[in-house]
Amino acid sequence: MVNVIRLLFTIVFGFLWWWTWNFAGPALQYLVTLGSILTLCVCCCTGHDPSSEWSFDRYMACLRKCGPALLVLMIGLILLAILVFWVSAGAFPVAADLIRILVASIGSVIFIRAICCAYQA
């Protein structure tokens, strides 16, 4: 049962990460990749005994464990993307670009962390 839960979480949040990647578009795919990699660095994923029972309480505790660090990471990615946009386009991003920046910065971090915690819980 543990592996079925992990498989389902991987499929659901992996699909949402893929949607984030496509929604961000080619101009912001660097941001999704960077956010995903840095999420693993900010809160290292360390697996537990695969035979242990999976627990929703441990899953939620895992998600909360790195909350402040992940929030700082998301804000940093948003500011980085705005700066990159500003330097490359010579102007502040318009609303549509800001939405893509927010989705890429927040989605890449949250969905990778959600998958990681499925293997820690």
Residue with the two structure tokens 């999420």: 39
Q: Which long-range contacts (CB under 8 A, 24 or more apart) does 90-94 make?
A: none
Per residue of the chain (121 residues), what is the pLDDT tens digit?
788 998 999 999 999 999 999 999 998 999 999 999 888 877 765 655 555 678 899 889 888 888 888 999 999 999 999 999 999 999 999 999 999 999 999 999 999 999 888 887 6
Number of domain units in the chain: 1
Quote the domain boundaries for residue 39.
2-120
Residue with the two structure tokens 């989605």: 107
Find how far residue 7's CA is from the centre of its chain: 18
For 55, which DSSP code? -
Report the alpha-carbon distance of residue 72 to residue 46 in Å, rounded.
21
